[in-house]
Amino acid sequence: MIEDERLIVFDDEHFMKIALRQAERAAEAGEVPVGAVAVRDGQVIGRAWNQVEMLKDATAHAEILVMTQASAAKSDWRLDDVDIYVTKEPCAMCAGAMVNSRVRRVVYGMADPRAGAAGSALDITGFSGMLHRVEVKGGVLEPECKFIMQDFFRRRRLESQTGKTVCQVNNPELGGNGE
């Protein structure tokens, strides 16, 4: 046995950083920058970003896409041993899909007080009338998640006002290049 053997345990911040990288990919593609990661037994089994515009599909939210990947990876629609990490609190559609898929836990970065359905505006994930309740943890890397969202919409407003493309500001918390 090696004396200096250490067990590496990935925490919520580690997986949220992966979700943030997915959000950066969304922003680069001109999509609202939401990224998501599905984790089972400490392993990433799915990663996605919003692709509504690219796919011309209103349901192509990062959470929906990552749950589809997780179901394929498990060969089962029941995601009761899967945690979903997402940069923004899920909307009603995504929260409902998490309940129906029996996701164990959702961890989000920034709250959405206007339309969030994991406890902010609505609480679909914890509604007592549902057959399943999803454990919720919010606020993980919230400043970084807010930064990418605010920067995206700031650039959108500037582009609309000037008619010129505005370069994306890289988040220094993620190493500056989105990789």
The answer to whether the beta carbons of residues 86 and 106 sit under 8 Å apart is yes
| CA gap 31, 77 in Å, rounded | 27
Active-site residues, by number, are: 63
Q: How many helices (H) and strands (E) does the chain have?
A: 5, 5
| CA gap 84, 66 in Å, rounded | 8
Half-sphere exposure of 83 (CA within 13 A, CB side): 20
